[in-house]
Structure 1
């Protein structure tokens, strides 16, 4: 009797494993087609490029890329488009980087396809022209908005274009963002005073005591905790670019 019970228990256990295994197999995704017209494309004069391809009709196409280029998960951006009834899709992009595509429909998905986008000569000329115009605009605005005006209440000038040149007092990188304190007023002896916070969405090689210039928009009042537990309010800058001078 006990032997029969052991055999029955073993049979039921084997059957349950078979059922579970079949259940897992039934949820396995099947690969669907995904192809692109070109895996290496260039941006045009407007600094955009169009990724085009074909997949299953009405499938979703996810496009991920890393604009910072450091490989951190928190920096990954995602675009999404939908193929038409013929399976054709297109997506405009404007970063010079690798884009990873994957198509999904129901419980099925495709293999990944990588498209590399680079800037054409025409795009580079447009970028240089835009940078020159923007830099001059930032510098002109910085002349009309003094540090004393910002220090009084930087919130008044939030989102205004701005330019600073100064000495890095402290630089911290965390979760894809760089935060620096920079002294922006140089006296006749070469010493820097008047501290601003510089917030940059990305990483920079700038470290303490480097002289930098930064272009961006005024953040407003930035408050941080001091080493003795108090709070300090200083003007802030959302930097779009940071250049190390020395």
Structure 2
């Protein structure tokens, strides 16, 4: 062989050797580590033999043996990991792959052709249909409950009819089975669109009247029903402009319901909260009614015992003083056996505001007892009498 071709061969062998070294570098390193450990173990056991190099003879046999065992063990671990990696199943084909979807399983099983969504007609009727293998059993489920089933005809067609409520969306499952093959498909059923009827009415009413007019608007011709405690009070049709009105009892607070209905539309219900507010005259009458008469002897004995109680008394004004928007009065509230007002049986009345009354007027006081009231008379005497904070003073 000429020198030219010998060089090419040698070069090729060198390249092949480098490629093998690169490809098997992990194996070479692992074998080298294991072999180095075995060498140290043998050198420790036969340290005096001529084949043991001089550098190894500088260490004690125990050091060589211990080091050799550790390095050999590392080599074994390295080689074991390489064997496991080389001969374990491919990860791409391992069982760690995610589970197959229903669609993927279906592609490997019985074929089924069906739409993803079905819409109801205006009456809420829905026809679900599809195609699969002739003779297969098709079952329709909703929330794990069987709705219907049938055997597919000889052309592979099947269909079901279900009802759907207005303004709803429901999910169904279509399951197909034939022999050992199965398939499943999820579908959506959409109910008819049915808009709610318009209803506009004041839902919060405050009134001082025993009867109040309730007005509102809805769809023309709609039936409007008024209820109180689930009892129908009245029912009428809205006029051509959709207007309606009711006279409702409002002598006390309560909740009314108003429902508007019309064919082709969803009914609409409103709750009307009525708060009966007392008029000034009613408040005054109720307050006066709540005040009670207390004999002066009992009241004089211990005014503090009655503090906070509502009280009514009629008597003669002995003294009246006004100032800074406030009125104070001394009123005799009992008469002697001759029919004259007893100036010793007196209450001390305070009132926020001024009045047209003068001394010697006879008035009726409605108010709240404040307890004992002590004042100094013109003569310098300290006098204690029942005190009353008046709400109303009348002739």
TM-score (norm. length: structure 2) = 0.29
Query: Which gives a bigger RCO, structure 1 or 2 (Cα 8 Å, sep 6+)?
Result: 1
Structure label with greater radius of gyration: 2
The structure whose residues are more often strand, as a share, is: 1
